[in-house]
Structure formats: structure tokens, C-alpha cells
Amino acid sequence: MPKEVKKSSDNSFGILAVTLGILSIVLSLTVLIGSFAGVALGILGLIFAIIQGKRNKNSWSKAGIWLSVIGIIIGLIFISLFISAIIEIARQVQELQASGALDAAALAG
């Protein structure tokens, strides 16, 4: 006998999903730690939106899914841009060390 899913008019998980989705977008737009927090909140928001969708599929669950996914994507983009910038800075420092320009600047300063 299949287990019945009880439909409920409670939207608390959907409201929480939308709130976490909005927070994930806002935090994803901040520097590094905020981007990680934005991705984490986006994942939590997505989980709550899916739970809401299973309980009572409504506009709260759909909005929570969209906002959470957008927050996760923005956070991942910012994290990848930050990592790319760190790699580029490290490459340029290595080039300066290899050319000796960094040593001359350190001696002068």
C-alpha cells in the first residue's frame, strides 16, 4: 500500500525557502566568506523549497527554488572569480620573483 503524502496549507517551509533564497543572493554578492555562506544558505533554501513542494506545491515553493538556485549560481560564480584572481596574483608574483624585480624592490624598501 503506497504511503499517502498529507497535503497541508502550511506555507512555513516555503516562506523559509524564499527568505533563505533572498539571503543567499545577498550574501553571494559579498566577498569570499559571504559567497560561501550564500551558497550554503541557497542549498538550505532549496531543501526547504523541495520539502514545501512535496507538502503543498504552491508559489512559495516555486519562488524558493528559483531564488535559491539563483543564489547558488551567483555564489559559485563569485567563488570561481575569486579563486581565478588569487591564481593570477600568485602567477604574477612568481614572474616578478623570476625576473628579479621583486628582489630589487624589497632591497630598496
Residue 5 in domain: no
At residue 5, does pLDDT exceed 60? no
Q: Give the pLDDT confidence score for residue 106 in this predicted structure.
A: 61
Residue 82 in domain: yes
Domain that holds residue 94: 12-102
Residue 1 in domain: no
pLDDT tens across 51-100, in order? 999 998 899 999 999 999 999 999 999 999 999 999 999 999 999 888 88
Number of domains in the chain: 1
User: Which position has the higher pLDDT, 105 or 10?
Assistant: 10
Residue 7 in domain: no
Cβ atoms within 10 Å of 72's Cβ, excluding its own:
22
pLDDT tens across 6-37, in order? 555 788 999 999 999 999 999 998 877 788 99
Q: Give the pLDDT confidence score for residue 101 in this predicted structure.
A: 75
Residue whose grid cell is 550564500: 38
Nearest to 49 by CA among 62, 33, 30: 62
